[in-house]
Amino acid sequence: MEIFVAGKFIKTSTELKVTNPYNGQLVATTFLAGQPELEMAISAAQVARKSMHNLPSFRRYEILMLIRNRLAERREEFGRLLMLESGKPIRYALGEIDRSIQTFTVAAEESKRLPKEYLSLDWTPAGEKKEGLVKYFPVGIVAGIAPFNFPLNLAVHKIAPAIAAGCPIILKPSSVTPLSTLLLAQIISETGLPEGSVSILPMDRTTGNSLVTDPRIALLSFTGSPEVGWKMKAGAGKKKVVLELGGNAGVIVSRSADIGLALSKCLVGAFSYSGQVCIHTQRIYIHQEIFPEFSNRFADLVKGIKTGDPASAETEFSSMIDEANALRVENWVNEALDGGARLVCGGKREGTMYSPTVLTNTNASMNVCSSEVFGPVVTLEQFKDFESAVEQMNNTRFGLQAGVFTNDIQEMNRAFEALEVGGVIINDVPTFRVDHMPYGGIKDSGQGREGVKYAMMDMLEPRILVKGT
């Protein structure tokens, strides 16, 4: 597949082979962009700025709905390609396509609803007979960097808002999963968007770093690991930076919880796409009275997970993105066991496949607790009272989302006030996300929010017109 530079599909001198993590087979060959291709993309984006800004609302809406409709028509094709490049079970791959369709739908609608304010200014005599209009203008060129784990939808969470906001975007997909985004480029190329509005460029690290440093880029929107993200912020010069990083999301299961609900939700939260999810359910804190029941039933459920080829409709669980990551997870689990943790189930690796793993008796300093495990590992620990559960949840440098299973109003209120995260999910896992909700972390989990409208806000800057009345 060719890469997409400013409206054209081209080859470069550097081939990039994309393989299926499950079986190592070649999925497709594409290309890495170097400085020349990036330069073409940036130059074209500069030219496209004005025409994108001048698109009336109905044109932005039409373009985004056209993409949405084409994507819906080709759902199966996109799902299959995404499954192949990522090793994500087909059921989840199709779910991701559905979410991308929704992300474009919301962006289409929000493109007509850019924020606008109309203010009285006569609060003091200095403002008498004056009033203000605030309109939001596109910031300029956006650079988006997307991760491998939701190769399409996390790219779409940058592309769709950029089109809606009127900003040209240069999107770097992950080098291991660039294909579904490049397939999307085909659809985008047929919409009549000004050339230069969107470029999709897999890149090597050096070229990618130019996205951080080039002063012509106004906003860097990065989704990926905390370490890389915070370094980018430091090197970004005058540009704005949005960081959607990861964490070690936790869940509280209170005594008043619906245990059956908690079990089934936690199972998915912990193991969908092998835990390679920013809001993967990594830590579960269970009230001591229900801990034995919960942990036993959970272990049983984990053992029943259907593992296998991601291409199969039955498969619930498959391999990790590559062996390096599987090895890292293996090491962290072994470290935890050496440190006194107890293995409830799992803990086995075969190539890129790491089995669904449940640990208990862990402590907060172990990597499986304190770092972003980004693999199929979850810890179960008990607590005595709700307040101590809150403390354990907060005892980390991350703060993305948290889940709380409870039927108690006081506990719900307390969780909202006290959990140091971007989102508190009642009676669901932290892994819960719908695409129009504000989503993002605090503490080391990031800065800024995505969720179409919220992502658009960072791509816009206000300008006030002060006028007479």
Best CA proximity match to 45, nearest among 160, 161, 142: 142
**SS3 call for 315:** coil
User: Which is it for the CA torsion 211, 157, 5, 176, positive or negative?
Assistant: positive
With contacts defined by CB under 8 A, name the span among 106-114, 184-192, 350-358, 367-375 that binds a second copy: 106-114
Task: Candidates 158-166, 296-304, 381-389, 401-409: pick the segment binding a second copy (CB under 8 A).
Answer: 401-409
Q: How many CB atoms lie within 10 A of CB 75?
A: 14
Q: Which stretch binds a second copy (CB under 8 A): 83-91, 119-127, 273-281, 385-393?
A: 119-127
For 122, half-sphere exposure in the C-beta direction (CA atoms, 13 angstrom radius) is 7
By the rule CB under 8 A, 133 interacts with a second copy: yes
Query: What is the C-alpha to C-alpha distance for residues 40 and 143, in angstroms, rounded to an integer?
Result: 14
Q: Which residues are catalytic?
A: 244, 278
Tokens representing 18 are 């994309």
State in angstroms the smallest separation of the CB of 15 from a second copy. 37
424 contacts a second copy (rule: CB under 8 A): yes
Does 209 participate in binding a second copy (rule CB under 8 A)?
no
3-state secondary structure of 348: coil
Contact flag: residue 75 with a second copy (CB under 8 A)? no
Query: What is the maximum span of the chain, computed from C-alpha positions, in angstroms?
Result: 75
Contact stretch for a second copy (CB under 8 A) within 83-91, 227-235, 351-359, 378-386: 227-235
- Token pair listed for 322: 């590559």
Interface positions, 292-321, toward a second copy (CB under 8 A): none
* Contact window for a second copy (CB under 8 A) among 3-11, 56-64, 171-179, 348-356: 56-64
Interface with a second copy (CB under 8 A), residue from 37, 428, 450, 458? 428
Among 13, 17, 25, 56, binds a second copy (CB under 8 A): 56
* Interacting residues with a second copy between 432 and 451 (CB under 8 A): 432, 434-439, 442, 444, 447, 449
Binding a second copy (rule: CB under 8 A), the pick from 77, 117, 190, 227 is 117
Q: Does 91 bind a second copy (CB under 8 A)?
A: no
In the complex, least distance from residue 283 CB atom to a second copy, rounded to whole angstroms: 18
Q: Considering beta carbons, is residue 319 or 447 the nearer one to a second copy?
A: 447
> How far apart, in Å, are the Cα atoms of 452 and each of 155, 241, 438?
12, 16, 8
Say how many C-beta atoms besides its own lie within 10 A of residue 215's C-beta.
9
CA angle 193, 199, 202 (to 5 degrees): 155
Exactly one of 91, 233, 297, 309 binds a second copy (CB under 8 A); that residue is 233
Q: From the list 25, 123, 338, 365, which residue makes contact with a second copy (rule: CB under 8 A)?
A: 123
Q: Between 24 and 462, name the residue whose CB sits nearer to a second copy.
A: 462
> How many whole angstroms separate alpha carbon 452 and alpha carbon 460?
12
Q: What's the CA angle centered on 390, arms 386 and 396, to 5 degrees?
A: 155
231 is an interface residue for a second copy by CB under 8 A = no
Least Å distance, CB 3 to a second copy, is: 31
Question: Which two tokens mark 52?
Answer: 């994108």
C-alpha 13/C-alpha 30 separation (Å) is 10
39, two tokens: 């330069």
Residue of the chain from 15, 36, 43, 113 that contacts a second copy (CB under 8 A)? 113
- Residue 67 Cβ, how far from a second copy at the closest point, in Å? 16
